[in-house]
Amino acid sequence: MRLLLFCGAQQWGGAEIFLGHLIAGFSADVQPTLLGVDAEVLERIARRRPGTVVQVVPRIDSRRDLAPILAQRRAMAAARPDIVQLNLPVPFAEPYSVLAALTVRRSKVVVVEHLPMPIQSPRIRFLKRLSARRLSAHVAVGTAAARDIEVMSGRPPGSIRVVHNGIPPVRLREMPRPADTDFVVGGIGRLHRQKGFDLLVRAMVRLPGAHLLLVGDGPEREPLQALADELGVAERMTITGWSDRSTDWLSAMDAVALPSRFEGLPLVLLEAMACGRAVVGTNVGSIGDALLDERTGLVVPLDDEVALAAALNRLREDPDLRSRLGAAAAGLARERFTLSGMVGAYEALYAELLRKT
């Protein structure tokens, strides 16, 4: 089966890591080709499956970019795919690439949605609704994400299917604890307002003696450092910067915090759960598919630094609770969020679509 995977990203993130996991897990019956606009991003994905064909095409920035639109369409048609799958980090990404794919004869078109966010442009909203009606399959990474995308796309309830993100087995390399303390709370991800790490810095005021370990980089790095200085917690905060092996830092954390303001189904949550770490997070996006309050973690209200600090203090003061939640989280991760389960679901979807040819 010839599968063409389109990735319009120019930066590395969770949606691109997802693609790497996916192609790494495919059976020999699936022949993936990567098509996209950024050579470095495509090559990083392709490393997960040696021999994967990669092709770079011009980026489409607007409806006036006729030459890039035609170039993408020609590349899609030349690959003679049975299925074209477009990876959308946000709902308003790549509208013209989706339309180009829909014009390729004898190809089924699948769109995968990662992070439901409002579509501000009326034109893009119109194109989203227009294309959604013609897709062979529309997939979201979690339950709430699917329902949100249905509203944005003007599709009936239940029309967007859910295929949960899955992760390969996590094998941690031991990393040094950043401080001599009884409690290290960690956050992993892009340092962006979306992730709510500013709330985590504020919560540290109510966690005396604890240490905050942030693994990542991004536009909020300097503001977060300035906030820590202002609140007097800078000496109890470490920012590692970006790491290709960011998951390894879970080995240095006693608990993990995800105070996100909006999400899809973040891979770091699944990785923390698989490693048996107790997690405190907000129930936004599809986090609730994995983070079950008092069962696989602790759920706190959105934008509530006091509740976040209180939940972290519970985990600090009750090692048995940390252990119980971590064990339950690891069990759910093994049951529901595995790479083999995710890949199997996609391969079953492809087989279903091809049987309808």
Does 112 score more than 90 pLDDT?
A: yes
Does 356 score more than 90 pLDDT?
A: no
pLDDT of residue 3: 98
Q: What is the 3-state secondary structure (H, E, C) of 157-194?
A: CCCCEECCCCECCCCCCCCCCCCCCCCEEEEECCCCHH
DSSP for 253-292 reads -SEEEE--SS-S--HHHHHHHHTT-EEEEE--TTGGGT--
Average pLDDT of span 183-198: 96
Given a contact cutoff of 8 angstroms between Cβ atoms, the answer to whether 133 and 106 are in contact is no
Mean pLDDT of the chain: 96
Helix (H) or strand (E) holding 51: none
Does 357 score more than 80 pLDDT?
A: no
Q: How far apart are CA 274 and CA 335, in angstroms?
A: 10
Same topology between domain 2-166+338-355 and domain 184-336: yes
Domain positions in the chain: 2-166+338-355, 184-336
Amino acid at 162: V
Q: Between helices 14-25 and 39-46, what is the axis angle to 10°?
A: 40
Structure tokens belonging to residue 156:
């009936």
Average pLDDT of span 153-171: 95
C-alpha angle 191/215/41, rounded to 5°? 70
DSSP for 276-343 reads T-EEEEE--TTGGGT--BTTTBEEE-TT-HHHHHHHHHHHHH-HHHHHHHHHHHHHHHHHHSBHHHHH
Does 157 score more than 90 pLDDT?
A: yes
Helix runs in 84-170, H state only: 95-102, 122-132, 143-153
Give me the CATH topology for the region 184-336. Answer: Rossmann fold (3.40.50)
Give me the CATH code for the 2-166+338-355 domain, please. Answer: 3.40.50.2000
Amino acid at 202: R
* pLDDT tens-digit series, residues 317-335: 999 999 999 999 999 999 9
* pLDDT tens-digit series, residues 2-57: 999 999 999 999 999 999 999 999 999 999 999 999 999 999 999 999 999 999 99
Instruction: Give the residue from 256, 278, 259 showing the smallest Cα distance to 268.
Output: 256
Does 243 score more than 90 pLDDT?
A: no
Given a contact cutoff of 8 angstroms between Cβ atoms, the answer to whether 353 and 110 are in contact is yes
Given a contact cutoff of 8 angstroms between Cβ atoms, the answer to whether 195 and 174 are in contact is no
